[in-house]
Amino acid sequence: MLESVNDKGTTPRKKQVSNSAKAGQKNIMTQKREVKSSSTCQVRALPCAASVARHELKQVKQIAYTIATLMNDRTQYDAMVESFTQSGFDCDDCEFLIIDNTGKKQTNAYKGLNQALNSAKGRYVVLCHQDIRLLKDGRKQLDACLANLDALDQNWAVASNAGGIGIGKLAIRISDPHGDDQKLGDLPARVASVDENFIVVKRESRVGFSNDLNGFHLYGADLCLNADVMGWNAYVIDFHLAHLSAGNKDASFTSMENAFRSKWDRALRSRFIPTTCTLLRIGGDPNKKFFRRGAEIIMKKAVRFGVHLKACRHWLLSKLRARDLFWSFGQRGHRDA
């Protein structure tokens, strides 16, 4: 499905084009609808199938921004697009990309957004929820934020408005049900993960989402880990917008958390890499896997109940040192015997 937006005040009309000759592809619908602007922006909708029906539009110049969204509510999506076009993203160097989840055939965030990244033409790809709304910060502010990142770190690939810096430390610039006009941290801040409501990907980095994960949770963290493995960095920037949702830890979150941990434990496992000219060993000690899991549970509870993190860390490290000393003396005694 492809949709183009014309801003010349024409009456919306629909045109059905047969495309049955191409196996596995649906009909392409071209729709014109009115937007309050004097220029032209582009909207393309991707089907959920792996094959993408492409309809090339004549481009005046290189696309700067692709705004891609998983859509399951047309009203929400239209309101989001309107907030973007009214904030400067209404030029002929912007395109809007839809991954259509309104029908019976559904896709998940990992696969759908990978499809969007593969089809995007913009220098920057904005992956955002349909329930965000731009406020005072618009095209000029985002241009300035990304230019600032280019000057700060040429190896940035991912930018967002919220993310995790370290244990118990976040960087945030957002208005949502948790609070208006939130700003936390010295921005821009380098982060280990980003929130999924608003993500900017530098397309030249070619980073994407894991092929062996599914669902609608933790794909921001997955994107940052993939970027890190490829030598790129992620940041939270000072770009303020409104997110109408407070987040949704539904029943699938725990299973997704377990799948995420399992995937990345496997990906970062200790192993030998045989090559045609040498043998390499990479990774940490696999015997510490269960101990790491126990430490993770302790630190999660520490953050949740407000325990002073520095004291908790010192206590944990002292226990680790005591365990290592006990182990080393035990091994020494065993050898002496």
pLDDT at 304: 64
Q: Any idea where the domains of the chain sit in the sequence?
A: 2-257, 272-336
Rg (CA), the chain: 24
Give strand pairing partners of 94: 65
CATH of region 2-257:
3.90.550.10
Closest C-alpha among 202, 191, 196 to residue 237: 191
Residue 272 is predicted with a pLDDT of 87
| Per-10-residue mean pLDDT, the chain, length 337 | 39 38 37 40 57 42 94 97 96 95 94 97 98 97 98 98 96 97 97 98 98 96 98 98 91 93 94 88 67 67 61 66 55 49
Do you find a cis peptide bond into 12, omega within 30 degrees of 0?
no
3-class DSSP state of 157: strand
pTM above 0.85, yes or no: no
Question: Helices 109-119 and 219-229 sit at what angle, rounded to 10 degrees?
Answer: 50
Q: Which string of b and e fits 158-196 if b means at least 16 CB within 10 Å? A: bbbbbbbbeebebbbbbbbeeeeeeeebebbbebebbbb
Which pLDDT score, from 0 to 100, does residue 50 have?
A: 38
pLDDT given at position 185: 96
pLDDT in the model for residue 288: 62
- In the chain, count H helices and then E strands: 7, 19
